[in-house]
Amino acid sequence: MFEALTGTGLAASAGLNAYIPLLSMGLLARYTDAIDLPAGWSWLANGWTLVILAILLAIEVVADKVPVVDHLNDVVQTVVRPTAGGLAFGAGSSSQTVTVSDPGSFFGSHQWVPIAAGVLIALCVHGVKAASRPVVNVTTAGFGAPVASTAEDIGSVLLSVLAILLPALVLVGLVLLVWGAVWVFRRRGRRRQARLTGAETRRLFG
């Protein structure tokens, strides 16, 4: 149960920021006893891996806070975030990595299930994030992009830490994510309705 919550929290975190959960696992595994990565995922704690992840995270943090650039970044991250979600769920739930030399054994042992679950979870979270960002940019004339991005980064960090240290609280984080998504899309619906009403008014009286 806790392994599934850990994997779910890490995958959801990857949907917000691909590199935060992977970097969190790597740092905690390398410098603390908070997480013990399976042998197949020990590369996450490698020094070079951590440096590369830190550089990619820095690029992502900057790009996601600039209007227009954030949209282009979300397009690129449509592949990256689900992939990171699959890796995060796989490592977090103690799944083993793919044995390329024997893919039949990998699929037959159902080791792909947690990875596929992580991909789907991260893809769903990413989809909501990517769809909500244009709403934020339009309603705030672009000034809300860095605020929204910072909130997402903080949420990703919190989800990663909770998933590793207090997995039972991951459910609270997921509820907050769903609430945020509902709020954004309701706001988007109200703006669309207001535009339609305004256009109809202009047509009738203009």
Is residue 23 within 8 A of residue 50, CB to CB? The reply is yes
User: What band does 9 get if pLDDT is binned at 50, 70 and 90?
Assistant: confident
Question: Which one-letter DSSP state was computed for residue 37?
Answer: -
The candidate with the shortest Cα–Cα distance to 160, out of 1, 5, 10, 2, is 10
Give me the phi and psi of 79, to 5 degrees please: -95, -40
Over 90: is that where the pLDDT of 141 sits? no
Is residue 97 within 8 A of residue 41, CB to CB? The reply is yes
The pLDDT of 111-126, averaged and rounded, is: 82
Over 60: is that where the pLDDT of 110 sits? no
9-23, 31-45, 78-92 — which is least confidently predicted? 31-45
Q: Select, from the ranges 26-30, 53-57, 76-80, 111-115, the one with the highest average predicted confidence (pLDDT).
A: 53-57
pLDDT digits (tens, 9 = 90+) for 159-176: 888 888 877 777 777 777
* pLDDT the model gives residue 63: 92
Over 50: is that where the pLDDT of 98 sits? no
Q: Could you tell me the two tokens for 119?
A: 């991909």
